[in-house]
Amino acid sequence: MTKQIKVCSVEDLPPGTVTGAGPYAVGNIDGEYFAVTRRCRHLRADLAGGSIENGRLVCPWHQAAYDVQSGHMVRGPQQIFAKIPGLGTVFTTLTKLWPLGRGRVTFSGDDIVVE
Ligand code: FES
C-alpha cells in the first residue's frame, strides 16, 4: 500500500505557493500541483521554502531553478556560485542523472494528498 501524506486544503495552497509535507515540497503552478523531494541538490536547502518563478521551483538559498515535472535543475545556483565556471552545468547535468524525486499529488475531498 502506498503511503499517503496529507498536505493541506486546496484553498491553503493557491497558485504560486509552495509548502512542505513530510519529505516533499508541494506547490501549485497555475493550478497544477506538484510534489518533489525537498532537499536542493546544491547545498540541501529546503525547497519547501522556495518560490515559483516562470513555472519553475526556485531554491530559497541560491535561486537554482527546477523543472518540477522532470526533477531536473534547469538553472544552476546563482549569486557567488554563478561566477564559478562550469558549476551550473555540473548541477544541471547531475540532476539529469539524479533528479529530485517526485510524488504523485491526489485529492481527498478538499485536501491535497501526496503519494
Ligand atoms: S542550496 Fe539550493 S541553490 Fe544552493
pLDDT in tens, 63-114: 999 999 999 999 999 999 999 999 999 999 999 999 999 999 999 999 999 9
Q: Answer whether residue 2 shows pLDDT above 80.
A: no
CA of 91 to the centre of ligand 1 (A): 10
Q: Which structural domain range is residue 30 located in?
A: 5-114
pLDDT in tens, 61-72: 999 999 999 999
CB-based contact 106:6 (threshold 8 Å) = no
Q: Quick one: pLDDT band at residue 1, thresholds 50, 70, 90?
A: low
CA of 84 to the centre of ligand 1 (A): 14
CA of 109 to the centre of ligand 1 (A): 35
CA distance 62 to 73: 12
Predicted pLDDT at 108: 96
CATH number of the domain residue 83 falls in: 2.102.10.10
CA of 77 to the centre of ligand 1 (A): 6
Helices (H) and strands (E) in the chain, counts: 1, 11
Supply the residue whose CA is at minimum distance from atom 3 of ligand 1: 62
Substitution candidate for ligand 1 out of 47, 51, 62, 95 with most atoms within 8 A of CB: 62
For the residues 6-13, what does the mean pLDDT come to? 97
Q: What angle do CA 56, 26, 76 make, to 5 degrees?
A: 35
Average pLDDT over the chain reads: 97
pLDDT in tens, 17-67: 999 999 999 999 999 999 999 999 999 999 999 999 999 999 999 999 999
Give the total number of structural domains in the chain.
1
CB-based contact 99:2 (threshold 8 Å) = no
Predicted pLDDT at 34: 98
Query: Using a 6 Å CB cutoff, which residues line ligand 1?
Result: 40, 42-43, 45, 59, 61-62, 64, 77
